[in-house]
Amino acid sequence: MDLIGPFHRSARGYRFVLVLMDYATRYPEAVPLRNISAKSVARALFQVISRVGIPKEILTDQGTSFMSRTLRELYGLLGIKSIRTSVYHPQTDGLVERMNKTLKSMIRKFISEDERNWDNWLDPLLFAVREVPQASTGFSPFELLFGRTPRGVLDLIKESWEEGPSPGKNEIQYVLDLRAKLHTLGRMSRENLLQVQERQQRLYNRGARLRKFTPGEKTDASDRGLGAVLSQEVEGVDRPVLYISRKLSEREASESGGEEARDAETSLLCV
């Protein structure tokens, strides 16, 4: 789960989008927001949950909106485990990051043509993404979630060529067939995902190197995970001073001497 924006304010006052994606099916959800307060994020999250069910785990970055007491209470009420990414390391939530990139490019396209109504195009954009087969799973997110391919524009054209409706099917048999198909699709999707993950792991490990740290050791954090825009904003500011704890968590020492412990990706620590 992540937030994108701010965009140009729409006619209905929306400037941000809450983006969610199911890791099993790659099924995306997006909810427009007027602000990114804890209450707005919690309300949007519950809106999605009411449609698709309660997840066991939710992965987010360490942004203020996701670390709020409101969201923690919602997680506790619904039995959701909160998982946080390492600071300055968006690759941990790479699936949503790629979805963010796709959505942002699409939204900007519509903003350039109709900046006041970009939020009206969110649902059609999501439909377009959901019906495209994913290379990692071999199926579209829609098919993995619902057990059938969506009825799209091409289907409408094809139906106009055919004569009469297709014969009906017994409801009980339909449910049994659908359940069997979902089971088969899930198994095939998991097999495809494992193959893709193993290939990605091999590619990543080619350039990886072992980093050894000692508890209490002082180090710096690289800014390569901040992104070009944020890097420009902090240009000329010293890198964060870090101290290694026994759990390899990051401690950012402020000028006042206070410390805030957060998880850090060791590949960003300078040695």
Kindly state whether residue 211 falls inside one of the protein's structural domains.
no
Kindly state whether residue 21 falls inside one of the protein's structural domains.
yes
pLDDT band at 231 (very low <50, low <70, confident <90, very high): very low
The reply to whether 171 and 230 lie within a common domain is: no
Mean pLDDT, the chain, whole residue set: 74
The reply to whether 152 and 98 lie within a common domain is: no
Token pair recorded at residue 236: 């000329």
Q: Measuring CA to CA, how many Å separate 161 from each of 151, 156, 164, 168, 211?
A: 15, 9, 10, 19, 63
Q: What is the distance between the alpha carbons of residues 165 and 167, in angstroms, rounded to a whole number?
A: 6
DSSP strands (E only) in 73-161:
81-84
DSSP strands (E only) in the chain:
2-4, 16-21, 28-33, 57-60, 81-84, 218-221, 241-243, 249-253, 259-263, 269-270
- Bridge partners, 250 (sequence order): 262
229: amino acid identity, one letter: V
pLDDT at 168: 57
Q: Measuring CA to CA, how many Å separate 60 from each of 13, 18, 34, 210, 232?
A: 25, 11, 20, 27, 24
pTM over 0.75? The answer is: no
Q: How many beta carbons lie within 10 A of that of residue 263, not counting itself?
A: 15
26-35, 109-118, 140-149, 172-181: least confidently modelled range: 172-181
Please say if the pLDDT value at position 76 is more than 90.
yes
The reply to whether 10 and 116 lie within a common domain is: yes
Kindly state whether residue 78 falls inside one of the protein's structural domains.
yes
Q: What is the pLDDT of residues 148-195, one digit of tens each?
A: 888 776 676 666 666 555 555 576 676 667 667 656 656 665 666 667
pLDDT band at 235 (very low <50, low <70, confident <90, very high): very low
Residue 40 is part of which domain span?
2-130
pLDDT at 107: 81
The reply to whether 17 and 124 lie within a common domain is: yes
| Of 206, 211, 214, the residue nearest 271 (C-alpha) | 211
pLDDT at 189: 57
pLDDT band at 12 (very low <50, low <70, confident <90, very high): very high
pLDDT band at 215 (very low <50, low <70, confident <90, very high): low
How many distinct structural domains can be found in the chain? 3
The reply to whether 24 and 114 lie within a common domain is: yes
